[in-house]
Structures are given as structure tokens and as C-alpha cells.
Structure 1
Amino acid sequence: MTVRTARIAGSSNWGLRFVGVGGAALALLAIAPPALAQSSNDEARVRKLEAEVRALQRRVFPGGDGRYFEPEITGQPQASTTVSQPSTTAVTDILARLDAMETQIQRLTEQTEQNTFALRTLGERVEALETLDAGAVQGDAPTGGSSGLTSGTPARGPATTATATPTATSTPTSTPAAAAPDPERLAAVSAIAKPQTEDPADDEYSYGFRLWEAGFYPEAQQQLTLFVEQNPQHWRATYGRNLLGRAYLDDSKPREAAPWFLRNYQADKTAARAGDSLLFLAEAMIALDDTSRACIALAEFAETYPALAAGRLLDQYERNRARVTCN
């Protein structure tokens, strides 16, 4: 009875313990759902906040997702480096250009000063040459500024010599010679044929050249004067003026020759016979014992036509230089 009672009592105690544990468990189960629900709510809120933050980041920093773009903070130094390099290069280029401009300005300044000096010197020489018209060159020959001769008043030639009235400077002995032209000379002149080509002006010059080449200087003077006065723009004009001066110079008339040489040089300094005329002008001045103007003409020739002075006209240039002493 006692043992059974004890067993029953033990069973009862165990039952009570079981009831107590079960009650506690039930109590915990009753309490757990609210706690679990709160935890789930917090996690949901956190996830919602994170989603909102990401959405805000995408709006404020578009493309900031590392899956598609590099982080912005790592790109800043590269961007600044890329921008700074061109700016430094641009400054360097500007400085280099300024240096180049300064160098060019210095060269232009030096060249301008040299050109100014050369022009001043050239102007002085030209003025000295122009004084030939009013100084050493006198008489009824043409001046450098105007023709002085027209087709109606040709230079001294056989026809003019035969019919002209003696001037104040003519000698009495020239009148008898003019009254009786040499028949043989007239025949020799008539034997020289005048060319007949498609260029009548060139034919006039060629005929004057043939007369000069044959030594008929007065006839050549008349013919060449007619050519240069009637054809001042012809391409042979520079040849005609130069040859006309030579016709006077070879006829021992340097005073009449000098104006034609000067006129031909001043008409066009780049013409084919401008350099020849300047050198012959020096030769005419030497014949007139005008050393000063001869030296001016020689210096002008050497400076303006160095190729001729060292080439085609070298012998004549050296010969004329040897005849005068220039400072």
C-alpha cells in the first residue's frame, strides 16, 4: 500500500513537473510570436530603408552602381590629371609662340633698318646720277627726264648734216663738208638693206643696228632715234636706247651719249640693256673727265648688277675701273 502510494505520488509529481514544463512552454509559445513578428517587421523595415537609400543614390548619383561604373571617388584624380596636362601644354605652346614672334620681330626690325639704309644710299646715288642732265650733260641732246628729240627733229645724221643751218657752236669748217656729201658714202649706206619682216618696229631697230655695225654712226644715230621715239614700249626699246648711246659714244660724242644711257637705265632698271647702259654711262663720264660721276656709276653698276659685273660685262667693268681712281 505504501509502495503503491509512493509510486502514485511519484507519478503525480512527475505529472506535475510535466504540467509545469508544458505550461512554461505554452507560455513561451504564447510570448514568441509577437517577438518573432517584431523581428520580421524590423528586418522588413531595414530592407525597405536600404531599398529607399539605393533608390536615392541612383537618383542623386546616377550610374553609381559599382557593377556598371567605376566609383566616382577614384575617377577624380584621373580627371584632374587629364585636364591639367593639356593646360600645361597650351601654356607651353603660347610661350613658344611668343618667343618665335619676338625673334621674328627682331629680324624684321633689323631687315627694315638695313633696307632703309640701302634705300637712302640708293636715293643719294640716283640723285647724283640725275644731276648729269643739268650738270655735265649739256647741249641739244635729250635729257634723262624727257626725250628731247622727236621724229621731226632727229639727231645729227647725214641728212641733217647736209641741210641743217650751222648753230652758234658749229665751226665754220663744218659747212663746206655738209654741203657736199660723199657719193661713195651714200652708196655704201644705200647698200645696207633694211629688213622686211612681220614686225616693222623690229625692222627699224635692225636697220639701225646694221648701220652702227658698219661704222656709219651718224646714220645709225638718226635711224635709232627714229625707232626709240616712235616705239617707246616695244621690247626692243631698251636695245635701241642703249645702241643709240653707243652710236654717239663710238662717234666720239660722249656728251650726247650720256643722256641716252641714263635715260635707258632710268626707264626700266630690270630691262635687258639697263645694266649695259649704266656701265657705258660710266665710260662716257670717264671720257668727259668726270671722275666723280664715273665712280658713282661704277659703284651703282656693281651693286645693282652683280651678275653682270662678274659675268658678261666683267672685262668692260674691270677696264673702266682701271681708268679711274675711286674712293
Structure 2
Amino acid sequence: MKPRFLLLLTLPLLLPALPAAAQQTVQQVEGRVKKLESEMRAVQRKVFPGGSKEYFEAEIQAPAAPVTAPGVPASNPLSDLSRRVDSLENQLTTLTGQIEENSFKVRQLEAALEKFKTDAEFRLTTLEGGAPPAPANPEFPFVNPAGPGAATPAAPQAAAPAAALTPEQEYNAAYGLVTAKNYPAAEKALSAFITKYPKHARASNAQYWLGRTYFAQNQPVQAARTLLENYQKRPEGERAPESLLWLGKSLMAFSPPSPAKACEAYDQLEESYGKKLSQSLRTQLVDARSAARCG
């Protein structure tokens, strides 16, 4: 049993014999409770300014005093204080729940806004061929460029629809998102390119950078699958050697890491492309084998 309830059980028995000093203590406690109620009302006004009574009570109110029948003694002060403290605790719990619910709704709105922004950037870059041109004089859009008194030029005709992008342009747009570190949009653009042009010369590059995009987003399992598939489907592709290198790095990023499998990927890289490796790629391979402690 909590100490407060023990106090409530025992003090009413001693209340008739309380000296003046004890009664003064009760009055002090009641004053503190009133102060706590006032602070709670201030919190309500701060968190929910102008709030509707449909969702919460605008002010904290002490429980109504019970109607006592004639001849029945009134409740003692400590019991009244206990009920008021219980009411304050219930109100505080309600406020906490409402604050948490509002915070969750704000997070949902932020996530939806970020998704909309990413999708809009992707469509603008890969489908519409870039942002629409700015006005010739954005600071003074209503000034006649021919000068005062000159005839106002006719309104320009609506721009013709943008021409369809070539496969090379679509790949460059997707790769531009990678270099800009807009990984969610790059993931969508690269995946769309691979699906649309699986046999294109740039397909090896596209799937390699798709794997790197997953790796940059802390998705090593998806990165490993994508890079392994790129090597298996396009062993003669431009990015097949780099795909094996980053396959090993992705395996080392697993939780827990998989150094034995990583070393197998590095061995396959040396076996298949040892004589064709550039100096830069060979240096990266030496470092990667050392990190995996390959024999």
C-alpha cells in the first residue's frame, strides 16, 4: 500500500485530537494543492490555447463537494485533499496523452510532405526534362521590356510538351540524383531504367549505382542482392568488377558481418578480372581484403 493511502487511513482517526499546529499544516498542504491546480490550468492554456471543450476541459476543477444528509458529519480535510490530488493526476494523464497524439500526427504530416517532395523532384527531373523557365524579368514582371510607350508584346504561346528523353538522358538524370545524394529519388529512377532497358549498355552502370544507393541508405542486404545480380546477369558489363568489390563490402556491413562470403567475392573478382583491374580498383581490393582478413 502506498504511503499516501496509509496516511489517509490513519490521519482521520487522529484528526479530532490534532493540535492547532497540525491544523495549520493541513491548511498549508491545501494551499499547495491550490497552487498545483493553478499551474495545471496554465499548462492547459499553454498547450491548447483556445481549445474546445469538446476535446478537453478548459480548466481543472475540484470535484464537487458531496451533499451530506442532515446529521452526517462533513468529510475531513485530508479526504478532500486526496480527491483533489486524484483529479489532478487524472487531468495530467489526459494532457500527456493528447500531447503524444498531436506529436504523432505532426510526424505523419512531415513524412507525407517529404514523400511528396521526393516524388515531385523525381518526376520533374526524369519525366518533364527539368524545371520550367523563369520569367525574363522576375523582379518586375509587369514592366514592358520594350520601354515606356511601346506596344506591349503579345503573351507567349503555351510551351510545347517536352520531348521524350532518350535512354542515355534518362540514365544521366538518374545518375545525377545519385551524385546529389537524393537516394530515395535515385532508387526509383534507376529501378525504372533497369526495368525499361534491361539490355541497354548502361544497364550495368544503372544496377551498380542502384546497389550503391541501397548501401548508402544502410540497406546492405538489398545492396548485396542487387550487386550480385548485376554481376551474374552482366559479367561483361562495364561495372561488373566494381559490383563484386561492393558485394564484398555489403557482406561486411551485415549484422553480424560475413567476412568468409566477402572473401569469396574478392577471390571471384581477382579470378575473373585480375588482369583488367585498374590501379585504383586494385588498391581498393587490397584494402577490402585486409578489412575482411582474407587469407
Normalising by structure 1, what TM-score? 0.42
Q: Relative contact order: is structure 1 or structure 2 higher (C-alpha 8 Å, sep ≥ 6)?
A: 1
Q: Report the TM-score when normalising by structure 2.
A: 0.47
Q: Say which one has the larger Rg.
A: 1
The structure with the largest helix share of the pair is 1
